[in-house]
Amino acid sequence: MDDEFEDNYETFRALLDAFNPAEAIKRLELMQVDPAVIQRIRERHEQQTIVIRELEEPHSVVLGNRDTWYTGPSPRDKCWPAIVGHLEKAGWSASAIGSLDTASTRIVSLLSHPKEKKFSTRGLVVGYVQSGKTTNFTAVMAKAADRGYKLFIVLAGIHNGLRRQTQARLVQQLVEPNPTRWHQLTDLERDFVPTANAASFFGKSNKAHVLCVVKKNATVLRKFAEWLKSASAYLQDCPALIIDDEADQATVATKTINPRIREILDCLPKAAYVGYTATPFANLLIDPSADDLYPKHFVVNLPKPEGHFGTEVLFGRYALDGENPEEVDDGYDMIREVPDEDVECVRPLKKTDAAGFIPEITETLSDAVRYFWMVTAARRVRDTGNPHSTMLIHTSVNTAVHNSFRIPLERLRDRMKDELEIPTVLQALRDLWEAETGRVPTEDFGEAKVPFEDLLPELPGVLNDCRIVMDNSSSEDRLDYENGPVVAIAVGGNTLSRGLTLEGLSVSYFVRAVSAYDTLLQMGRWFGYRDGYADLPRIWMTAELSEWFRHLATVETEMRRDIDIYMTEDKTPQTFAVRLRTHPALRVTQAAKMKDAVKAASAYGGQRVQTRYFRTDAEWLKDNQTAAKRLVAQAAQHAARREERPGDGRYIFRDVPYDLVLDFLKRYRFHEKSQECDADLLIGYIEKRVRSAGSLRRWNIAIVGNPVKDDDTAFEFAPGVAVQRIVRARLETTETGFADIKTLMSRRDAAVDLDGDTGSLTEQEIKVERQRQLPDRGLLVLYPIDKVSSPPPREKQRRLPLDADEHVIGVGLVFPQPHGEDSAIEWISADLSGVDPDVDIEEVDFSPIEAEDVA
């Protein structure tokens, strides 16, 4: 009977794709299904409808322990399986598809449920330059479509080329596998043009998804908004997903594009806006209190794909606080210096000189071009990976300068054809090849070195195939990778700087003057995948530019570490602002885009850090108990003053030397899942503040528990220092030997060492008061947590007993705001002072443990 029920229930689910529930039941009756089975199917469907309506489908702990309605693909999905099939045919490995599945599931789980009556979600996804962001948002769209989102709007940059490329990808992966499920409002050749009867696309009788891929063009977006308004009566039940590709470009702080995007969102009662970018600096600095596109609901890092060449791989980075500089990667030896005196030979120093400029083929440019030809020949010998081979020359934004390179480069190519038989020329080529391949070990990339003798026979064919392409807004020349293998030297500017992929990019010559982080990163088209030739890419640039990219690699690492806190700590973009390290010669982004930014605290300055993850095995927990007891014993000996408040379950040891805190941090074992609670980083930050600013030399050590009611429920830190253990139940998770309590420290605890009535102060007011009373003092709070910690009755549906092998020691640290004396490094962030979250998620009212609750 059960097998018959399950088989027919799947038939019923399939019928729902074409019919309403009543009609689907009638179809089962016509198929002469047992009436008892039909009744069970009707009851299950009604129950699941209620569950969905109440947004409990099903509650699950997903990535950062956020309750979500979406837990992953379903067997009845249509769009996501089509993408999997396409990627498998394209040669994607099972692990790569699994990574895409996990990352896209995380993002969909953060969207609003499509059955909600009304929602307006704002999110941001941060990828890497040339790392597959399009594939990720295509997967997100597929999964959202499978769950009931109907309208899909993709804002595809500002250039026609990127819009067409994106349209083609979405048609190939979404529309063509399920053509009856999609309506297209745009196509490869045509951006959005209003059609008659917009309402017909959104009525209940039309179950197809609606796809629109548009440029961020004010006229087009205005027309689209007006078209949507004409169907307003039918949009109440039209969950929409807006993907903003290159979300930092044109979207933020523009008088034309930004209002049009918000106008489109205002037309949609149920809308989720998700920005995608590798350079999120402008998006992270939007005023959070304004009616704008600040990602107030979530910011997510995409994982770095295997085999991806990013900033740090090529340029290395500087050490962050707490890191040993000798252990930080310096990057591969792939960067070649262009002397400053060469720059004026390949780029006019003044705009007025651009019209008549004639570039000179300098020694460094000649080396770069000749090396490119040899790389292409070597790749033909290997005969693996991407069949295309491209070189990028980017010296100026001026199209006249681009065009001026054609004749000198063509002459260089033609001369090389004629000189391949000359011994001195061959020796120079051999020397260049041997020098370059000797600096980057091929075995590091699983490749074999190509001898010069093997590539030499391929060189004539490479030179014959090599095109010189001027790819800019004023030329009709374009890189076309659709009609067979390409060998090209591309000279260009902005048309090559965003979104578009330079296939098989091997060599770059880059001396473009750039003044902002986001522009500089987007100009770096050399980031991406180098399958089959990962040992061969080279970049020629000035020493200054190389230093800037190294700085940017440091900024990116620091920024992504902050973003990861959203998924692992009890914070949201409205309670914690990502911090961006500044540079004396570079802007973070355009001035208009960061007008609302404020100076941010460095590293842990002004922050409240707390443990929420714990292992549950006895050895690990006993080590932490020992570390805590040692700290309290030492604090009792060295504190300038001791305050006992046993009636409140509080003890405070004031003015404790910082070296006792450092000793504790070295002994206490933080869980590896915690992004904030990294002992090395915490120690490094404290030492830097002590060394450079003289602050954090003294600390207050507090113990927070409950008044002792029974010796069985007390935890003794030292003789005469005991409090009743507190209860912190854990969230439900599939992992064993691991507990997440979500919240340890209350706002009141962060003010435990402050004088006066602090109970009603807000988080910001506590920071201000701490700055007034204890501007250079750190606070460390110890919490004894009962090993059983059964949740109160009201929490039992979402919490489980802690069930640790030993009592747990939780730790909270509160750092004062730095006041300008830390170092030359500064940070900026969004200004959260105007944000008033509806709920203070950090306040938890756990009942104290009673003696009869002890196991």
**Are 694 and 823 contacting, i.e. CB atoms less than 8 angstroms apart?**
no
492: enclosing H helix or E strand: strand 487-492
Answer yes or no: are the C-beta atoms of 37 and 8 closer than 8 Å: yes
Is residue 614 in a domain?
Answer: yes
Whether 636 is covered by a domain: the verdict is yes
Both 442 and 541 in one domain: the answer is yes
Report the C-alpha gap between 273 and 261 in whole angstroms: 10
The amino acid occupying position 527 is: F
Closest to 707 (Cα-Cα) out of 846, 611, 813, 850: 850
**DSSP 8-state secondary structure symbol assigned to residue 246:** T
Residue after which a domain boundary falls, among 306, 337, 371? 306
Residue 595 within a domain: no
Give the helix, strand, coil percentages of the chain, each rounded to 5: 40, 15, 45
Q: Does any domain span residue 157?
A: yes
Q: How far apart are CA 586 and CA 737, in angstroms?
A: 47
Task: Give the closest residue to 279 by CA, choosing from 249, 250, 306.
Answer: 249
Q: How many alpha carbons lie under 13 Å from residue 376 in its C-beta half-sphere?
A: 29
User: Are 396 and 492 members of one domain?
Assistant: yes
Residue 463 to residue 420: CA distance in whole angstroms? 10
620, 669 in Cβ contact below 8 A?
Answer: yes
Number of structural domains (the chain) is: 4
Of 567, 570, 560, 558, give the one whose Cα is nearest residue 602. 558
Write the single-letter amino acid at 423. Answer: P
Is 242 within the bounds of a domain?
A: yes
Per-residue model confidence as pLDDT tens digits over 503-526: 899 999 999 878 888 888 877 777
Question: Are 846 and 726 a contacting pair, CB within 8 Å?
Answer: yes
Q: For residue 632, give the nearest of 653, 648, 647, 649 by alpha carbon.
A: 653
> How many CA atoms does the CB half-sphere of 691 hold within 13 Å?
8
Which structural domain range is residue 223 located in? 65-306
Say how many C-beta atoms besides its own lie within 10 A of residue 805's C-beta: 15
Closest of 578, 592, 588 to residue 519, by C-alpha: 588
Using the 8-state DSSP alphabet, how is residue 750 labeled?
G
Residue 208 burial (CB < 10 Å; 0-12/13-18/19+)?
Answer: middle
Number of neighbouring beta carbons within 10 Å of residue 690: 16
Query: Residue length, the chain?
Result: 855
CB 706 within 8 A of CB 848: yes
Distances (CA, A) of 60 to 144, 733, 749, 799, 844: 18, 8, 30, 12, 21
Task: Mention every residue, 6+ apart, whose C-beta is less than 8 A from residue 236.
Answer: 269, 270
Bridge-based pairing state of the strands 538-541 and 335-337: parallel
DSSP letter for 382, please: H
How far apart CA 559 and CA 566 sit, in angstroms, is 12
Residue pointed to by tokens 């570079």: 586
Contact 113, 69 (CB under 8 A): yes
Whether 9 and 79 share a structural domain: no
Residue 413 lies in a domain: yes
Same-domain status, 249 and 375 = no
| Cβ neighbours for 380, distance < 8 A, ≥ 6 positions apart | 455, 458, 461, 462
Distance of CA 406 to the CA centre of its chain: 39
Q: Where are the alpha helices (DSSP H) in 64-132?
A: 79-89, 94-109
Query: 681: how many CB neighbours lie within 10 A of its CB?
Result: 20
* Same domain flag for 749 and 666: yes
- Residue 825 near residue 684, CB atoms below 8 Å: no
Residues 668 and 640 in one domain: yes
The DSSP bridge partners found for residue 783 are: 810
| DSSP-H helix ranges across 110-196 | 133-146, 160-170
DSSP string, 540-594: EE-HHHHHHHHHHHHHHHHHHHHHHHHHHSS--TTT-PPPEE--SS-BSS-GGGG
For residues 21 and 80, membership in a common domain is answered with no
Q: Is 408 helix (H, G, I), strand (E, B) or coil?
A: helix
Measured between alpha carbons, how far is 693 from 605 in angstroms, rounded to an integer?
12
Task: Check residue 675 and give its pLDDT.
Answer: 67
> What six digits make up the tokens of 760?
């009603």
Q: What is the CATH number of the domain that holds 104?
A: 3.40.50.300
Q: Looking at the structure, do residues 22 and 85 belong to the same domain, yes or no? A: no
| Domain end position, chosen among 30, 53, 76 | 53
User: 734 and 642, same structural domain?
Assistant: yes
Sign of the torsion formed by the C-alpha atoms of 128, 134, 139 and 142: positive
What is the residue whose two structure tokens read 């299904």? 33
The Cα-based distances of 389 to 76, 313, 704, 735 in angstroms read: 42, 21, 64, 46
Are the C-beta atoms of residues 360 and 345 closer than 8 Å to each other?
yes
Rg of the chain over all Cα atoms, to the nearest angstrom: 31
How close are the terminal C-alpha atoms of the chain, in Å?
44
Mean pLDDT in order along the chain per 10 residues (855 residues): 73 73 84 86 72 40 59 93 95 91 94 92 91 92 97 92 91 96 94 91 89 96 96 93 94 95 96 95 94 94 84 85 70 92 90 86 97 97 92 88 93 95 96 96 92 97 94 71 88 63 89 84 79 92 90 91 81 88 86 87 77 92 97 95 92 96 96 80 86 87 92 89 92 76 84 88 83 93 95 65 95 84 70 61 38 35
- Secondary structure of 645-658 in HEC code, one letter for each residue: ECCCCEEEEEEEEH
Cα gap 766→775, rounded to integer Å: 12
pLDDT one-digit tens code per residue, 176-185: 999 999 999 9
17 within domain boundaries: yes
**Which of 549, 575, 596 is the endpoint of a domain?**
549
pLDDT at 636: 95
Could you tell me whether strands 270-277 and 240-245 are parallel, antiparallel, or unpaired per DSSP bridges?
A: parallel
Please name which of 485, 261, 264, 463 lies closest in space to residue 370, comparing C-alpha atoms: 463
Burial of 81 (0-12, 13-18, 19+ CB in 10 A): middle
Residue 279 tokens read as 């350079």
Q: What are the CA-CA distances from residue 755 to residues 580, 636, 769 (Å)?
A: 34, 21, 9
Do 300 and 339 lie in one domain? The reply is: no
To the nearest 10°, the Cα dihedral for 356, 362, 366, 367?
-150
Residue 802 lies inside a defined structural domain of this protein: yes
Classified as helix, coil or strand, 417 is: helix
Choose among 106, 88, 108: nearest CA to 97.
Answer: 88
For residues 276 and 392, membership in a common domain is answered with no
Q: Which two tokens stand for residue 733?
A: 């998770």
d(CA 133, CA 501): 12
Residues 271 and 127 in one domain: yes
